[in-house]
């Protein structure tokens, strides 16, 4: 079942479209900036709002998701909001149990062990029935933003979700999931295809609900080498861009810009640049100039300050931002961190990062 085709009307008029213009490659007066995990535990108000609730119960409460999404925007002049949710709601929609274990992170009590376990997964997912709570959170947040900045929706990419579903949680080696790629390539492709189909419907549903841009997180790309990435990650990343765009067209929904963020996949940047996404997100392990050289002029770049740079004194953060902007240039560029914010980071330092991007890019554009 596809997402509802009537997009909810009557959203407030967008006042700051700098992020969307940069994503589409249009000229901007300054470089827009947002942070992965900007709605997060580094904010005392986030910890307060979340304190009493189970993590996934929070994800299922549109009101709380909306509040958490808005919190960083009350503090910082960010140029985009990203809906508060989690990539693991997709395996949940397929019928898997996921619990958030304190101190350990997300855990699957019954991960996929054998190829036969694929039969336990829902083969046809009605995303509105299973993930409608995310759509409600997006619609509510889009109204509550009052047009301040655009709202980004997102999903995990197939390989990253598959690796969690088999490992049963985080892993330093991903050996269980990778062993499937070598031992059970056909079953792996079956699982990746199932995930791809659900993700396409899920992302289209997010746009129908009011998302104005979409990001695909291939967070575990770094566990694959170039060959495996070519076979088990890239084709599905491409299919998602193609599938989402054709469904948006056929359902007369806005063609929103799409971002792909494949962490630690510098070996694949040239391919990612041609995968059908308007924006390629970068982690902190690549030089801006090198990324630009591989990706070319027709795709916007996003990233890539080392999140740990935010532990530096504020003046130092300003210098690092200036250097990063000089490397990327101020146009066709969205400033961000090379990964998410950490829970022990100082909100003041996050503010210093955001302000430095705006100040230095405005200055560079004038001169």
- pLDDT for 102: 84
Residue from 21, 50, 238, 292 carrying the catalytic annotation: 50
311 catalytic residue (yes or no): no
Q: Which CATH code is given to the segment(s) 80-281?
A: 3.20.20.210
- pLDDT for 103: 84
- pLDDT for 8: 54
Residue from 41, 190, 193, 274 carrying the catalytic annotation: 41
164 catalytic residue (yes or no): yes
Residue from 24, 75, 86, 311 carrying the catalytic annotation: 86
Reduced 3-state DSSP string for the chain: CCCCCCCCCCCCCCCCCHHHHHHCCCCCCCCCECCCCCCCCCCHHHHHHHCCCCHHHHHCCHHHHHHHHHHHHHHCCCCCEECCCCCCHHHHHCCCCCEEECCCEEECCCCCCCHHHHHHCCCCCCHHHHHHHHHHHHHHHHHHCCCCCCEEEEEECHHHHHHHHHHCCCCCCCHHHHHHHHHCHHHHHHHHHHHHHHHHHHHHHHHHHCCCEEEEEECCHHHCCHHHHHHHHHHHHHHHHHHHHHHHHHCCCCCCCEEEEECCCHHHHHHHHCCCCCEEECCCCCCHHHHHHHHCCCCEEEEEECHHHHHCCHHHHHHHHHHHHHHHCCCCEEEEECCCCCCCCCHHHHHHHHHHHHHHHHHHHHC
- pLDDT for 53: 87
Residue from 17, 21, 30, 37 carrying the catalytic annotation: 37
- pLDDT for 92: 98
50 catalytic residue (yes or no): yes
37 catalytic residue (yes or no): yes
Residue from 42, 164, 236, 333 carrying the catalytic annotation: 164
Q: Can you give the pTM of this predicted structure?
A: 0.97
Per-residue pLDDT of the chain (367 residues; tens, 9 = 90+): 444 444 456 999 999 999 999 999 999 999 999 999 999 999 999 999 998 789 999 999 999 999 999 999 999 999 999 999 999 999 999 999 999 988 889 999 999 999 999 999 999 999 999 999 999 999 999 999 999 999 999 999 999 999 999 999 999 999 999 999 999 999 999 999 999 999 999 999 999 999 999 999 999 999 999 999 999 999 999 999 999 999 999 999 999 999 999 999 999 999 999 999 999 999 999 999 999 999 999 999 999 999 999 999 999 999 999 999 999 999 999 999 999 999 999 999 999 999 999 999 999 999 9
- pLDDT for 232: 98
86 catalytic residue (yes or no): yes
């Amino acid at each position: 079942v596809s997402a509802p085709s009537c997009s909810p009307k009557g959203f407030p008029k967008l006042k700051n479209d700098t992020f969307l213009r940069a994503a589409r490659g249009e000229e901007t007066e300054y470089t827009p900036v947002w942070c992965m995990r900007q709605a997060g535990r580094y904010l005392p108000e986030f910890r307060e709002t979340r304190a009493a609730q189970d993590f996934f119960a929070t994800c299922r409460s549109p009101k709380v998701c909306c509040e958490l999404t808005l919190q960083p925007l009350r503090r910082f002049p960010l140029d985009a909001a990203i809906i508060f949710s989690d990539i693991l709601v997709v395996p949940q929609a397929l019928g898997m149990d996921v619990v958030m274990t304190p101190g350990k992170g997300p855990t699957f009590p019954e991960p996929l062990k054998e190829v036969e376990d694929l039969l336990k997964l829902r083969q046809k997912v009605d995303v509105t029935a299973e993930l409608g709570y995310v759509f409600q959170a997006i619609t509510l947040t889009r109204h509550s933003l009052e047009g301040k900045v655009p709202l980004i929706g997102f999903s995990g990419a197939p390989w990253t979700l598959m690796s969690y579903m088999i490992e049963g949680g985080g892993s330093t080696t991903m050996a269980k999931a990778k062993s499937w790629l070598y031992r059970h390539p056909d079953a792996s492709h079956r699982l990746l295809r199932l995930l791809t189909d659900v993700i396409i419907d899920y992302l289209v549903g997010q746009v129908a609900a009011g998302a104005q841009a979409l990001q695909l997180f291939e967070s575990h790309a770094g566990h694959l080498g170039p060959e495996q990435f070519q076979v088990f990650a890239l084709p599905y990343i491409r299919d998602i861009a193609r599938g989402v765009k054709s469904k948006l067209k056929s359902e007369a929904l806005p063609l929103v810009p799409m971002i792909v963020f494949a962490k630690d996949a510098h070996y694949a940047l040239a391919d990612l640049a041609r995968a059908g996404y308007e924006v390629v997100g970068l982690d902190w392990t690549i030089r801006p100039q090198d990324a630009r050289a591989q990706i070319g002029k027709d795709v916007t770049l996003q990233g890539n300050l080392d999140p740990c740079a935010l532990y530096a004194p504020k003046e130092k953060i300003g210098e690092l931002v200036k250097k990063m902007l000089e490397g990327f240039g101020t146009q066709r560029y969205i400033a961000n961190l090379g990964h998410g914010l950490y829970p022990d980071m100082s909100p003041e330092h996050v503010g210093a990062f955001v302000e430095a991007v705006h100040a230095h890019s405005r200055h560079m554009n004038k001169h």
